[in-house]
Amino acid sequence: MTARTHETRASEPTGGRLLTVAQVAELLGTSERFVYKLIAQRRIAYTKFGTGRGSPVRIAAGDVDAYVAAHRVEAQKTGAAR
């Protein structure tokens, strides 16, 4: 069996802790349904334990951070300061 390495992100403060869908929903301030939609659309990385439809999934805290960072919209700079 070959060893698999886990890519560590610089923004990963929790050391790769795996979160449940409910925990991710709470962190993002969204519903669990929204998180499942992100998973189904493969818009967020996840780990699936098992092969069946009802198999549990977990999301690394660093992947939540990466998703948030990737969807950050910077404020526009206005003209001259008043």
pTM of the model: 0.72
Domain at 18-70, CATH from 2.60.40, 1.10.1660, 3.30.1490, 1.10.3470: 1.10.1660
Q: How far apart, in Å, do the first and last CA atoms of the chain sit?
A: 65
pLDDT tens for 57-81 read 999 999 999 999 999 999 998 876 6
**Integer Cα distance of 19 and 76 in angstroms:** 33
Let me know if 21 is exposed, middle or buried by CB neighbors in 10 A (0-12, 13-18, 19+): buried
Domain ranges, ordered by start, for the chain: 18-70
Q: What is the pLDDT of residue 55?
A: 93
